A and B are shown apart, each in its own frame.
Chain A
Amino acid sequence: NAGVMQNPRHLVRRRGQEARLRCSPMKGHSHVYWYRQLPEEGLKFMVYLQKENIIDESGMPKERFSAEFPKEGPSILRIQQVVRGDSAAYFCASSPRTADGYTFGSGTRLTVV
């Protein structure tokens, strides 16, 4: 029973490039959440998705960031035109129902050079 799978584990992008982070939820989980952990800061909520729907994107930056959870395949967090300030660990979590003890993945560490 694989846990929440995130890939890649580490991603290096130059300023201005695009970053695509993937998250496969646990089997049977249809709710996905993305969080960001900036250096020296706590985990910050970004977005909550169900299959083909964005439920809550109140934590998403207004520009350059987007997320999707298609009917088939993993959830994708996409960051366009990355800047140094986007360097962080991005964690995905999933749950079978709304927010009862999510299971987190190991994260993708994005470094923008």
Chain B
Amino acid sequence: EDQVTQSPEALRLQEGESSSLNCSYTVSGLRGLFWYRQDPGKGPEFLFTLYSAGEEKEKERLKATLTKKESFLHITAPKPEDSATYLCAVQENPGRGTSYGKLTFGQGTILTVHP
């Protein structure tokens, strides 16, 4: 069964203090790894999709990277508005009983950025 583990569970940063969030995964055949941001009381907001080891994507202060076993979400010089829960999810290549439609999510990392 697919497993996705995110660490740390919670991270408190000062504004401007760069850091990284980790997402470790176990999947038989990875099609894609997704990063989402979720604010309290709202649905997840799509950030990135990564498909192959070595791939990197950037958006403003966020940069996502992928290896064969884990992904990192790097946050450079964060601001208080970056405070949210960051979710990682894996999509497996479809096989018996699975489809492209299923994402397996981790528990998330709660990021708090203090001014």
Q: Which residues of A contact B (CB under 8 A)?
A: 4, 31, 33, 35, 41-45, 48, 55-56, 58-59, 91, 93, 98-107
Contact = CB atoms under 8 A, between A and B. Distances in A.
Interface string B76-104: 00000000000101010000011111111
B43 A58 contact: no
Contact of B100 (A35, A41, A93, A99): A99
Contact of A105 (B36, B43, B105): B43
A100 B46 CA distance: 10
Contact of B42 (A41, A56, A103, A106): A106
A98 B101 contact: yes
B43 A91 contact: yes
B99 A42 contact: no
B43 A42 contact: no
A44 B105 contact: yes
Contacts of B97: 58
Q: Which of B97, B101, B106 has its CB near the most chain A CB atoms (within 10 A)?
A: B101
B101 A55 contact: yes
Contacts of B91: 99
